[in-house]
Amino acid sequence: MTADRENLTETAHREALRVVKGCGRKGGMLASATIPGYPQVWARDSMITLLGAVLAGETEIDRSLEASVKLLVQNQSPLGLIPNNVHIRTLRPNFQAYADGGLWLVIGIAAYFRAGGDRDFLKRYYPAVKKTLHWYEYQDVDQTGLVTMTEGSDWQDLFATRGKGLTVNILHYLALKKAAGMAEVLGDEAGAERYRERARNLKRKINRHFWYRGDPSSLLRHLEPSMSTETFSREGFDSLGREHAVPEKRILKGESYYLPYLTFRGFGEWFDSLGNLLAVLSGVAGRERSEKILDLIRKRKVDRPGPVKAIDPPIRPGDPDWRYFYVFDNLNLPHRYHNGGVWPFIGGVYVAALVKMKRLKEARAALESLARLNRKGRKGEWEFNEWLEGETGQPLGMAAQAWSAGMYLYADRAVRERKVPFL
């Protein structure tokens, strides 16, 4: 790495720490350090931020992260649902975009324990982990082994992901693995084995039903979880000998990747960057499939103008996944926000995925590209914006975003140590 490159990444590291500290409060980690910003502690934002921020080993940051865990757990519903966010002043919980926050909380608790080794912390919050994962058992509404979510209920809270979402099911797998590790540390061997078995079954289901192998003639298995009859080995016929109607694959026909969601007799077709990259990091994908995912990102320039666009290709008016509310404040027009905008926090996941697959030269280049994205600003340098326009790289959304900064710290550590922290 040249001196200029070292200076860029070192400056980015220092500025990322500044942003994270600016988001920290006694009551928890805010999503943004701007004023007024977001006056809530968000489950997913704070726990994604935690993955990188806890690596700093700074007491002030750690206290804010632990306060986030405490606040979220205190507002867990009687049945085990973790709130989407909790207002830091009124302490009022919100459960609207509910689907993934509890899973990020389990992953965050595991990471916080691994970073500090505090068994008292783990004992204190392990009951909430168990309660959370029990709630997710009930989200397997049709007993197919896959979690079902309502539209717009994960991190893409203004988007058409619905049914059996890829990202939420990958996160469920990761959370089960982490819970098994926590149970083992605490001597709960029976619980550890239950979580391991649930994780093994879920991994098989994800790979069977979500992985599209670049062959439009193999679409039936993506529909199986929504069918009421079993299929014969003869492709296209059910157990009563009836031929199934199968939708046509319209985009990315020759590519191999995990589909973004499965729904009733249908599926999403676009490439979901976060879900696919988490499949790489979690080990769900395996080596061959991981390489195909990373190759697709390079081939289709999903990592341009910086790492990485949330989806590819963007959804346009007239497409099945277009929604009238995408035009609200011009937010989800093509190449914007969830609809193909660049999200630096996902860029951090991308860098880590490259490190995991030993593509170290690519990982260093992606880290530098991520640093340049975070340096951009509308009012000054190093704004660490929430997202950027997918074609021009114009910084948009809220500045001083905690998870943009936290995941830069995570990616930076992965590149420096040539291994992926926690995940």
298 pLDDT band, cuts 50/70/90, is: very high
- Mean pLDDT score, 299-316: 98
Displacement of CA 395 from its chain's centroid (Å): 21
Is residue 277 a part of any domain in this protein? yes
Q: How far apart, in whole angstroms, are the C-alpha atoms of residue 22 and residue 30?
A: 9
- What are 156-186's pLDDT values in tens digits? 999 999 999 999 999 999 999 999 999 999 9
Q: Write down the pLDDT at residue 6.
A: 73
* CA-based nearest residue to 274, from 339, 350, 207: 350
Residue 186's domain comprises: 16-417
Furthest C-alpha separation in the chain:
69
- What are 357-391's pLDDT values in tens digits? 999 999 999 999 999 999 999 999 999 999 999 99
- What are 237-283's pLDDT values in tens digits? 777 788 878 899 999 999 999 999 999 999 999 999 999 999 999 99
356 pLDDT band, cuts 50/70/90, is: very high
Q: Write down the pLDDT at residue 234.
A: 60
Q: Write down the pLDDT at residue 111.
A: 98
What's the whole-number average pLDDT of the chain?
A: 96
Is residue 8 a part of any domain in this protein? no
Is residue 10 a part of any domain in this protein? no
Is residue 11 a part of any domain in this protein? no
Q: Write down the pLDDT at residue 217.
A: 87
Is residue 3 a part of any domain in this protein? no
> Could you tell me the two tokens for 158?
């203004």
Res. 4: pLDDT tops 80:
no
What amino acid occupies position 240?
L
- Mean pLDDT score, 276-291: 98
Q: How far apart, in whole angstroms, are the C-alpha atoms of residue 369 and residue 388?
A: 13
- What are 44-93's pLDDT values in tens digits? 999 999 999 999 999 999 999 999 999 999 999 999 999 999 999 999 99
Is residue 73 a part of any domain in this protein? yes
Q: Write down the pLDDT at residue 309.
A: 98
Portion of the chain with pLDDT greater than 70, in percent: 98
Q: Write down the pLDDT at residue 17.
A: 98
Q: Write down the pLDDT at residue 22.
A: 97
Please, what sign has the CA dihedral across residues 279, 283, 289, 292?
positive
CA distances from 126 to 65, 108, 123, 129, 170 (A): 16, 12, 5, 5, 21
Q: Write down the pLDDT at residue 374.
A: 98
| CATH number reported for the structural domain that contains residue 286 in this entry | 1.50.10.10
Is residue 6 a part of any domain in this protein? no
- Mean pLDDT score, 2-29: 92
Q: How far apart, in whole angstroms, are the C-alpha atoms of residue 294 and residue 300?
A: 10
Res. 336: pLDDT tops 60:
yes
- What are 178-197's pLDDT values in tens digits? 999 999 999 999 999 999 99
Res. 412: pLDDT tops 60:
yes
Res. 236: pLDDT tops 90:
no
Q: How far apart, in whole angstroms, are the C-alpha atoms of residue 217 and residue 232?
A: 16
For the chain, how many structural domains are there in total?
Answer: 1
- Mean pLDDT score, 98-102: 98
Q: Write down the pLDDT at residue 369.
A: 98
Q: How far apart, in whole angstroms, are the C-alpha atoms of residue 68 and residue 393?
A: 31
Q: Write down the pLDDT at residue 244.
A: 79
Is residue 29 a part of any domain in this protein? yes
CA count, 13 A, side-chain hemisphere, 188? 17
CB 148 within 8 A of CB 142: yes
What amino acid occupies position 329?
D
